[in-house]
A and B are shown apart, each in its own frame.
Chain A
């Protein structure tokens, strides 16, 4: 079946702009994760949903500019308000299968100028 999809694949934003990144998980997967990956580092946990419930958003803190939602328990959106240059990174979404393994989307590469 279809894998995890993310859009847009690339986004260039001027500093101070708001951006919204979308993730479509594998159909039927209950858990969905967002990660931020900077060059040369592993994916850094941002937040995690089980269905529509956001069970852990510790990675979004202490920033008050990052928000995520999954209102119907399927598609999720990561929103970054008032983007800063340090937000430039690849944002990865993953959904989790029954065995605990995660399946990743291709990521959104965000560049803040």
Chain B
């Protein structure tokens, strides 16, 4: 079993749709969590950090459930430009230790 697991998708949604991705992690001692976005043949780029209280950045909302060891990302009012692979990342420490990536969830937003 992988340390960080994501539904690979693909998720194919129309413009304007709301879509949610989940990610589960196995190391209960993990301290910090992030969502990254990766476009085809490009490097991953930070989308947002994930805080225990949940956080929002425009159309994007991230939530963390430590008890169940999962992280979620909600995208509202999907745009064509949201089409990408979304990677969940779990760190051993707040600013220390190893980082483990999921294999990503692919999203395609269609007109």
| Residue from B91, B95, B99 in contact with A98 in the complex, judged by beta carbons closer than 8 Å | B95
A99/B49 in contact, CB under 8 A? yes
Closest to A47 in B: B98
A18 at the interface (CB under 8 A from B): no
Cβ of B34: which chain A residues have Cβ within 8 Å of it? 100-102
Contact string, B83-95, partner A, CB cutoff 8 A, digits 1/0?
A: 0000101010111
A96/B95 in contact, CB under 8 A? yes
Max count, chain A CB within 10 A of own CB: residue among B44, B45, B87, B100: B44
Known contacts A99-B49, A100-B49: does B101 contact A42 (CB below 8 Å)? yes
Q: How far is the CB of B7 from chain A (nearest CB, A)?
A: 13
Cβ of B80: which chain A residues have Cβ within 8 Å of it? none
A67 at the interface (CB under 8 A from B): no
Known contacts A43-B44, A45-B98, A106-B43: does B49 contact A101 (CB below 8 Å)? yes
| Residue from A41, A99, A102, A105 in contact with B99 in the complex, judged by beta carbons closer than 8 Å | A102
B interface residues (Cβ-Cβ under 8 A, vs A): 4, 31-32, 34, 42-46, 49, 87, 89, 91, 93-104
